[in-house]
Amino acid sequence: MTAGSLSRLRETLAWVYERVPFYRARFDAAGLRPESVDAGSFARLPVLRKADLVASQRARPPFGELLAARREEFASIHTSPGPIFIPRIAAERGGTPALIEEIAAMGVERGAVAHVTLSYHLMPGGLRIHRAFEEFGCLVINGGTGNTAMQVQVAAAYGATVYAGTPSFLRQIGIVARESGLDPRRDLKYRLGFSTAERLTPELRAELEETFGIELFDHCGEAQIGPVAGECRAHRGMHLSSNDLFCEFVDVATGAPAEPGSIGELIATHLGPRALPLVRYAPGDAYRLFEGDCPCGNPSPRVDFFGQVGAIRKIKGVLVHPIAVADVLRKFPEAGRFQVVVDHPAGQSFDRARLRVGTIDPALPATERARELAGRIGAAAKDALLISMDVTLCPEAEIPEAASGPAFAEAIVDQRAH
Ligand SMILES: [Zn+2]
């Protein structure tokens, strides 16, 4: 933690302590004074979970007990699924400075035409990124979601060079453009893309770069927290929005501070005045923390999204998220849904992990090829996940649908005694 970020944190906490009795009670109970917290003592303050925020808003509708501003001071009101109600005061930049930094790091030029295709309805995403592009000096198209054919027309007519939205919608734009007889590379001018609200897999990135001749930049944000991290031109992880957020990462299993090189759960604290300030808020997301400095020179730490904490299991001493298994299986077109079954056989020293892969062709598991395919999947999984699993193939129908993404609720079955 730098001296600057510590003083900014203390300043914000003093502001919050003054205005929000809910947080004041938490500070007092922990024996903490906002003006003297440091990284060690700050961790004594209880973590605020999404469920706490929802409970607080249900108890005192609509905004709950965390408000730091009067209703007359609100400039806008956003909503996120739950629903969670998110008011914003005019003085609150709502993630804009962090987004402007990311836009600059992408190499966007002032005056460029930016096409924003996030939803402008209810949720904060579309407006947030729109405001940031406008303030940066771009000409912004408020595309929103849907109406793909018209979006293609508008992007072509205005000569949009910057795309902002989900990678899957960009893919759809490419498909619809081709259907209308346009060449996505020549007739659309996208060269830089801000990819958000969805996972940007290496395969999808390569496909979109090929289709459009665009350079994509991954971004991670959260409705309540705002922008969390974004990629720079080095494309080696996403830099944390250090000017907007004070980020802590803790070990998913022990709660101890997570070290660079490991995986940690995010606990975020807003910096600066907010209508609904979040202090030590954990949305349940885990990130992989990078080691060392980025060649771009930005000193802000880099992360990669790892997955939702609830779906992560420690298997043979390694944290595994079903997304990582899905990434391995995506390279095998024969594979459908899967399930990892972990148990600890009596009398054995180690856990045992079995990967059951459902095959799209129900006849495949009974064929000669099955053993060879299972062997290749096992080798690829060991390479990527660093654990050995016994791989068996079965018809996909035998794997429960609840094992599939993005929730992966039943993708890891833990049969170990706890
Ligand atoms: Zn960088």
Question: What is the pLDDT tens value at each position of the chain, 418 positions in all?
Answer: 666 789 999 999 999 999 999 999 999 999 999 999 998 899 999 999 988 999 999 999 999 999 999 999 999 999 988 889 999 998 887 678 899 999 999 999 999 999 999 999 888 889 999 999 999 999 999 999 999 999 999 999 999 999 999 999 999 999 999 999 999 999 999 999 999 998 898 989 999 999 999 999 999 998 889 999 999 999 999 999 988 899 999 998 788 999 999 999 999 999 999 999 999 999 999 999 999 999 999 999 999 998 888 888 888 878 888 988 998 999 999 999 999 999 988 888 788 899 999 999 999 999 999 999 999 999 999 998 888 999 999 999 999 999 988 788 899 998 887 5
**CA distances (Å), origin 160, targets 102, 164, 186, 282, 382:** 18, 10, 12, 36, 43
- Please report the pLDDT score of residue 346 as a whole number: 83
Q: How far apart are CA 369 and CA 357, in angstroms?
A: 14
- Please report the pLDDT score of residue 305 as a whole number: 92
Gap from CA of 243 to ligand 1 centroid (Å) = 15
Gap from CA of 235 to ligand 1 centroid (Å) = 7
Gap from CA of 205 to ligand 1 centroid (Å) = 18
Gap from CA of 217 to ligand 1 centroid (Å) = 11
The residues placing their C-beta within 5 Å of ligand 1, an ion, are 232, 234, 294, 296, 298
- Please report the pLDDT score of residue 418 as a whole number: 58
Phi first, then psi, for residue 311 (nearest 5°) are: -90, -5
Gap from CA of 289 to ligand 1 centroid (Å) = 14
Do 154 and 187 form a contact (C-beta atoms < 8 A)? no
**CA distances (Å), origin 128, targets 1, 31, 165, 276, 370:** 27, 37, 12, 16, 50
- Please report the pLDDT score of residue 319 as a whole number: 83
Please enumerate in sequence order all residues whose Cβ is within 8 A of that of 202, keeping only pairs 6 or more positions apart, or say none.
none
Q: How far apart are CA 143 and CA 248, in angstroms?
A: 35
Gap from CA of 122 to ligand 1 centroid (Å) = 32
- Please report the pLDDT score of residue 406 as a whole number: 78
Judged by DSSP in three states, 398 sits in: helix
- Please report the pLDDT score of residue 1 as a whole number: 62
Do 408 and 418 form a contact (C-beta atoms < 8 A)? no
- Please report the pLDDT score of residue 345 as a whole number: 85
- Please report the pLDDT score of residue 360 as a whole number: 95
